[in-house]
Every structure is written in C-alpha cells, then in structure tokens.
C-alpha cells in the first residue's frame, strides 16, 4: 500500500528510468503487481489529497510517519530485536485498524493545532486514491494473452480496494494483513507465486517501491520498478512479446 513512501518522498521526473533490477527471462507466465501507486495514482497525490481534506499539518505528518516508513522498507522488512514498527504490525494484521488510527491521530495535529479525528482516518486516506484506467487495461490485455496475474499489496486495512474489480483483473489476490506477511519479506513473494501454481522464476513483479522490487528479484522473480504507466506498459510488453 504505502509507497515511495506514502507520499513523503516525491520522485523527480528524471528518475523515470528502467530499473537496474529488471532482468530478461524467456519463460515468463505471470505478473504479480502492487496496488497503491501502481494501479492507482501516485501515493503522493493520494496522501496530499487526504492531508488537505482533513487539514492535517504536513510537517507533523512527515515527522511522524517518515521514520516508520523508512524503517519499514529497510532490509528484509523484519523487526529484528527492537520494538515492532507500527507499519509492520498494521500491514501484517497484528494490530487493528482502529488501534493504528488512534495512535497515528494522537501524534498528528491539524493546521490550526487542533486534534485529528481518529475514527475512519485510514478510510479517508485510502478513499482519496484513484485507480488508473490505463493500468486496468494493461492487466486485461495481459490476461487475454494467457498471462496470469496476481495482486500483491501491503494493506493499511481492508478499505481502499475496489474488490468488485478484482475478478476481471486478477487470478489471485494477496493482501498483506489477510495473510500475516508483508513486502519486502521473501515469504510473501513465494506465497503469491504459489497461488498462481508457479515458481517465482516464472513471475514478473511490479512495484513502485524499489526495496520491494529488489526483494522480489532476490526470490527469483523478474523485477519492474514502476515509475509511470507508460514505462511499465512498455516493459511488460517487451517481457511478454512472445504472447
């Protein structure tokens, strides 16, 4: 879900390039793809829309959430010997949405210094996301050619997904909080591949967080670092040119 990283670090246009983690593999059968920031508008737009609507102080948001997310996507995503990262706990489903909302709201302030409403905070945040028709069409086109598809998303709760769209887009769906795993943990990539009855080596993984792409490549997948729809479409077209 939260990516590059939930709107805190905005990418410069010059960074839109083919990822160093892309690899050509001749025997590819599936695409495993992220949700927020890949099949939707960039997360920075989603988060800024929510921040503006709820009149939250942006600098306080960055100061609170930034360190959580920087740690959340470092290494293999494990907690190690220190305290559990709140993002890890939320994305694995180890804490409730309500508990996370209360904790986060308690650390934020509005632009006039007032309290932030906790109830429904994540629903308001995620509802600001807008799916991209071009990416939907890309998935439909791949499936029409016999390419299997799976969603692999780090979730900040069950809301924010138009699940009624899933049957036409995906053969399998992996939501982190529903399986007790999260990216970039290697086990979640293997789980997604297994749901497609494939080995990771036969899958392409698409994500806008480079740490997740690197982790997927480490599991044997071919990685595509998403920066904009046109480039991802071009890369997937190249990888599945034999279809």
Q: Are residues 114 and 84 in the same domain?
A: yes
Asked whether the beta carbons of 136 and 39 are under 8 A apart, the reply is: yes
CATH code for position 222: 3.40.50.1000
What's the confidence (pLDDT) of residue 73?
A: 83
What's the confidence (pLDDT) of residue 90?
A: 96
Q: Are residues 53 and 117 in the same domain?
A: yes
What's the confidence (pLDDT) of residue 147?
A: 97
What's the confidence (pLDDT) of residue 219?
A: 96
Q: Are residues 174 and 154 in the same domain?
A: yes
Q: Are residues 30 and 86 in the same domain?
A: no
Answer whether residue 78 is part of any domain: yes
Q: Are residues 141 and 214 in the same domain?
A: yes
What's the confidence (pLDDT) of residue 83?
A: 62
Decide which of 111, 127, 143 is a domain's last residue.
Answer: 127
Decide which of 68, 102, 127 is a domain's last residue.
Answer: 127
SS3 state of residue 99: helix
What's the confidence (pLDDT) of residue 75?
A: 63
What's the confidence (pLDDT) of residue 21?
A: 56
Q: Which residues of 57-70 are buried (b: 16+ CB within 10 A; e: fewer)?
A: beebbeebbeebbe
Q: How are strands ordered across the β-sheet holding 148-153? A: 172-175, 148-153, 30-33, 203-207, 222-225
What's the confidence (pLDDT) of residue 25?
A: 57
Answer whether residue 139 is part of any domain: yes
Q: Are residues 143 and 224 in the same domain?
A: yes
Segments in the chain below pLDDT 50:
1-20, 77, 79-81
Answer whether residue 71 is part of any domain: yes
Q: How many distinct structural domains can be found in the chain?
A: 2
Decide which of 94, 127, 160 is a domain's last residue.
Answer: 127
Answer whether residue 8 is part of any domain: no
Answer whether residue 90 is part of any domain: yes
What's the confidence (pLDDT) of residue 159?
A: 85
- Domain range enclosing 217: 15-42+130-239
158 vs 100: CA distance, rounded Å: 13
Answer whether residue 26 is part of any domain: yes
SS3 state of residue 154: coil
Answer whether residue 9 is part of any domain: no
Answer whether residue 230 is part of any domain: yes
């Amino acid at each position: 879900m939260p990516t590059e990283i939930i709107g805190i670090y905005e990418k410069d246009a010059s960074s839109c390039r083919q990822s160093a983690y892309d690899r050509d593999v001749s025997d590819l059968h599936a695409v495993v793809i992220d949700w927020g920031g890949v099949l939707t508008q960039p997360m920075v737009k989603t988060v800024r829309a929510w921040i503006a609507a709820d009149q939250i102080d942006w600098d306080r948001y960055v100061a609170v959430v930034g360190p959580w997310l920087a740690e959340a996507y470092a290494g293999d995503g494990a907690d190690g010997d220190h305290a559990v990262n709140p993002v890890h706990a939320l994305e694995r489903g180890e804490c409730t949405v309500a508990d996370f909302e209360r904790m986060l709201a308690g650390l934020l302030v509005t632009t006039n210094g007032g309290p932030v409403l906790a109830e429904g905070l994540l629903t308001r945040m995620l509802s600001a996301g807008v799916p991209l028709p071009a990416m939907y069409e890309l998935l439909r086109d791949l499936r029409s050619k016999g390419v299997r598809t799976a969603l692999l998303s780090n979730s900040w709760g069950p809301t924010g997904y138009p699940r009624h769209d899933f049957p036409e887009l995906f053969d399998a769906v992996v939501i982190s909080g529903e399986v007790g795993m999260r990216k970039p943990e290697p086990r979640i990539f293997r789980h997604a591949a297994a749901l497609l009855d494939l080995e990771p080596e036969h899958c392409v993984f698409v994500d806008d967080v480079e740490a997740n792409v690197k982790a997927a490549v480490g599991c044997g997948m071919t990685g595509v670092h998403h920066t904009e729809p046109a480039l991802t479409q071009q890369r997937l077209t190249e990888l599945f040119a034999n279809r």
